[in-house]
Amino acid sequence: MICMGENKDSDHLLKPFVSVIVPVFNSPERAAKCIEALLDQTYPKERYEIIVVDNGSTDHTPQVIQRYPVTFMVEDRFQSPYIARNLGIQHAKGQIIALIDINCFAISRWIEKGVESLENQEADLCGGKVTFTFSEKMTYGEIFDSISNVKMKSSIEGRGVAKGGNLFIRKQLFEAIGYFPSTLRSGGDVLWTGNATRKGFKLVYSEEAEVNYPARTLIPLLKKSYRVGKGQPEIWKTEGISTFTIYKKILSGFRPPSFSFIRRNLEIRGPEKHKINWLLIWVIAWCCSVANNLGRFHFIARRVRQHPLE
């Protein structure tokens, strides 16, 4: 006779082993909150590991991380979340790699639902829902961040790409198509997932594999816009866009955004019951667009250095 406890243990052993990879840089408080959420998962404790890779922190972040029962690693050769993720993936034991950003906080069923989506939909990759959270003040920078960034569902279903802040991947994909581009600061996840789907690997979306993501205030949002801009031309090149067209997109990138874009996205994703100052949102949108385009000019500068006029 087999008792219920033995059945439960047997079921646990049948679940895929998951390696959760978390890159971190100078974020002690968020590191603690992120790790605590990952330790409080419904997925069987013996069927997942947490690997936190420090990307050269200069504060007490490493000391905070090492208080927890996680695997701690250091990758400080280059400032990039992708090279940090690559190190974690190379040392991962799991058949499934779960990626999460240090400033994302997983719900308790995050691993369980991410694995279910991969298994039930026979997928190779799965991007989960990202829900923005706001400070008590709910600044306009936060509001614009929430309507303009991390559109996981539409990115997956419309473009076949996903962000790495909430992403489940079968480990054999890295053997098939290689690791993340380690020299990029931003956009490497979009580049890599796009490459995967173009090669026929299946990417799906999960509404239930959810993480909470604190929206950025204005200054961090501008810095993020600049970093994203630096990586965008490389992504466009892989999508077959010509260098001439890339230059045109960059040169036209200083134009102010349309009100229709802002209204449409606020209606879809904006916080409820909040009176919106449309003009202020529009100004922030333009500032972010300028910062993004300045990042794109990094692409032009690099091209000029590589091919100087003779």
Residue-wise pLDDT for 30-55, tens only, equals 999 999 999 999 999 999 999 999 99
Q: Which of 3-7, 85-89, 236-240, 266-270 has the lowest mean pLDDT?
A: 3-7
What totals of helices (H) and strands (E) does the chain contain, helices first? 13, 8
The angle subtended at Cα 150 by Cα 169 and Cα 126, nearest 5°, is 20
* Closest to 203 (Cα-Cα) out of 231, 234, 164, 239: 164
DSSP 232-287: HHHHHHHTT--HHHHHHHHHTTTSPPPHHHHHHHHHHHSPSS----HHHHHHHHHH
Residue-wise pLDDT for 192-239, tens only, equals 999 999 999 999 999 999 999 999 999 999 998 898 888 788 778 777
Task: Tell me: pLDDT of 168 over 70.
Answer: yes
Average pLDDT rounded to a whole number, residues 168-185: 92
Reported as a pLDDT band with limits 50, 70 and 90, residue 246 is: confident
Give the pLDDT score at 186. 78
141 or 275: whose pLDDT is higher? 141
Average pLDDT rounded to a whole number, residues 234-261: 79
Reported as a pLDDT band with limits 50, 70 and 90, residue 308 is: low
> Domain locations in the chain?
16-216, 221-306
Average pLDDT rounded to a whole number, residues 271-298: 81
Highest mean pLDDT, choosing among 55-64, 263-272, 274-283, 300-309: 55-64
Contact present, 231 and 298 (Cβ < 8 Å): no
Average pLDDT rounded to a whole number, residues 143-169: 90
CA torsion 40→45→49→51, rounded to 10°?
Answer: 20
- As its CATH architecture, domain 16-216 has Alpha-Beta Complex (3.90)
- Say how far apart CA 49 and CA 46 lie, in whole Å: 8
Q: Write phi, then psi, for 71 (nearest 5 degrees).
A: -85, 120
- Say how far apart CA 228 and CA 219 lie, in whole Å: 14
